[in-house]
């Protein structure tokens, strides 16, 4: 069941009740179920359940990392802005965006996000719990992260991989699926900042419960 909070608006509470009723039995454990309900609430799309994938224990790993003080690293400022209110309302979790490390101009053959991810991961995995990583818009940043981990860099506590679109998206999601990392993934072309934020917000709510 979705973790409800004392300050939740009645419309939100009723929305979750209706979503749960419409979804019916999903067979999911409580934490993945909460993630699914939050995704449906944020998108209005009951069909997302057929695209949602969890590695074994992924939600529990993310929950434990948040409770231990891991920060949240997003690919975009939009995703960071969507997470920050819940992060402050619950665990006062630090939220950062990869663009803080990105150059002003993309180098030839790369993207600002890719360069930013490489720099951010070096800094944010030094003497601290590995961040939770949210990718809603930048498949290149996800691929850079996966290459760094494959080369021996510290693995993230959890990857929420939901890049949206048609160029490089299917490939990056496939690489994530094959990586063996703790992950929550949305197959196909759907995704975006709002959905990755919704997924981690569900975990933040549970962590503060």
Q: What's the pLDDT at 111?
A: 86
Q: What's the pLDDT at 6?
A: 54
Give me the tens of pLDDT residue by residue for the chain, a chain 209 residues long: 455 555 688 999 999 999 999 999 999 999 999 999 999 999 999 999 999 999 999 999 999 999 999 999 999 999 999 999 999 999 999 999 999 998 888 888 888 888 899 999 999 998 788 999 999 999 999 999 999 999 999 999 999 999 999 999 999 999 999 999 999 999 999 999 999 999 999 999 999 87
Q: What's the pLDDT at 1?
A: 47
Q: Is-contact 75 144, C-beta < 8 A?
A: no
C-alpha–C-alpha distance, residues 100 and 205, integer Å: 26
Q: Is-contact 87 93, C-beta < 8 A?
A: yes
Q: Work out the number of other CB atoms within 10 angstroms of the CB of residue 40.
A: 23
CA–CA distances in Å: residue 190 to residues 49, 50, 147, 164: 12, 12, 23, 5
Q: What's the pLDDT at 109?
A: 82
Catalytic entry in 41, 112, 173, 190:
41
Q: Is-contact 71 80, C-beta < 8 A?
A: no
The model's pTM: 0.93
Q: Looking up tokens 């962590």, which residue turns up?
A: 207
Sign, CA dihedral 122-123-129-130, equals: negative
Active-site residue, 9 included: no
- Which domains are present in the chain? 49-208 (3.40.50.10230)
Q: What's the pLDDT at 8?
A: 83
Pick from 188, 163, 5: which is nearest to 91 by CA?
5
Pick from 136, 206, 202, 139: which is nearest to 176 by CA?
139
């Amino acid at each position: 069941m979705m973790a409800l909070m004392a300050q939740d608006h009645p419309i939100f509470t009723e929305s979750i009740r209706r979503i749960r009723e419409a979804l019916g039995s999903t067979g999911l454990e409580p934490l993945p179920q909460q993630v699914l309900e939050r995704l449906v609430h944020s998108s209005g799309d009951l069909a997302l359940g057929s695209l949602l994938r969890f590695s074994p224990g992924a939600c529990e790993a993310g929950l434990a990392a948040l409770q231990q003080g891991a920060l949240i690293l997003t690919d975009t400022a939009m995703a960071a802005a969507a997470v920050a209110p819940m992060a402050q309302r619950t665990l006062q979790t630090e939220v950062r965006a990869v663009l803080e490390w990105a150059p002003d101009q993309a180098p030839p053959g790369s993207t600002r996000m890719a360069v930013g991810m490489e720099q951010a991961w070096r800094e944010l995995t030094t003497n601290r719990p590995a961040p939770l990583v949210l990718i809603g818009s930048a498949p290149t940043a996800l691929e850079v992260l996966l290459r760094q981990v494959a080369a021996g860099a510290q693995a993230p506590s959890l990857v929420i991989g939901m890049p949206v679109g048609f160029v490089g998206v299917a490939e990056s999601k496939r690489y994530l699926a094959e990586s063996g990392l703790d992950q929550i993934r949305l197959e196909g072309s759907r995704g975006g900042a709002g959905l990755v934020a919704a997924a981690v917000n569900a975990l933040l709510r549970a962590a503060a419960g």
